[in-house]
Amino acid sequence: MPSQPVAPSRMVHVACIMDGNGRWANRRNLPRTEGHTEGEENLARLVRVAVKRNVGWLTVFGFSTENWVRPRGEVRHILGLHKKLFGRVAELNELNVRIQWMGRPFDSPEARTPKYVQRAIRKAIRDTAGNTGMVLTVAFDYGSHAELVHAAQRAAQQGPVDEAAIERNLYLPELPRVDVLVRTSGELRISNFMLWQSAGSEVYFTEKPWPEFDAAELDAALLLVR
């Protein structure tokens, strides 16, 4: 681990697959929901660290299109945590962080984001729109396969489907390519997350579960793009 904070020479895009909340809780004989709560708190801590580094974009995998099959009580708890996350407007404004969301469009027949979470998302985006610092993107009800199908369908309505057309029709085409993709909790895979945007990116795997991913771990990931 680096002994000093790492500040890459350019603004970078860090994307995180926040895995291991449940295992973190199980090791402490706690309910899985406690792991998700600690994971949300750790995201808030990491945002504060990232704004001190030269991180221009932080994108996190909050809830995937596959996660809806989890136990109902666990899903309800995670939904409440995301409502809380998008409600941290005062803190985000203090840090000059602009928040945004990507996932299945709310008007899509397949979308499953509840209305109360939709309202929290829209409000957070509106209330932080004037901030000029780091961009925090939360992927919620998100899957890369769903995103690419959506992009291909939209592109086909506009003309020839090529790489540029797909790129223009991603959920957030303004997001730059991922510089380093982080996967926590010892899983050596990238899941269904930003497959298009992370092509060619560095990948940082760590044994630590997401609630323990700290400043030293972020610095180790940033070393890959110095």
pLDDT at 82 over 90: no
Q: Which residues are catalytic?
A: 19, 67
The pLDDT, as a whole number, for residue 118 is: 94
Cβ atoms of residues 148 and 195 within 8 Å: yes
Q: CA-to-CA distance for 56 and 179, rounded, in angstroms?
A: 11
- Whose tokens are 């795997």? That residue is 205
Average confidence score pLDDT of the chain: 93
Q: What is the pLDDT of residues 131-142, one digit of tens each?
A: 999 999 999 999
Of 132, 164, 155, 181, the C-alpha closest to 13 is: 181
pLDDT, position 3: 45
pLDDT for 218 equals 98
pLDDT digits (tens, 9 = 90+) for 7-19: 555 799 999 999 9
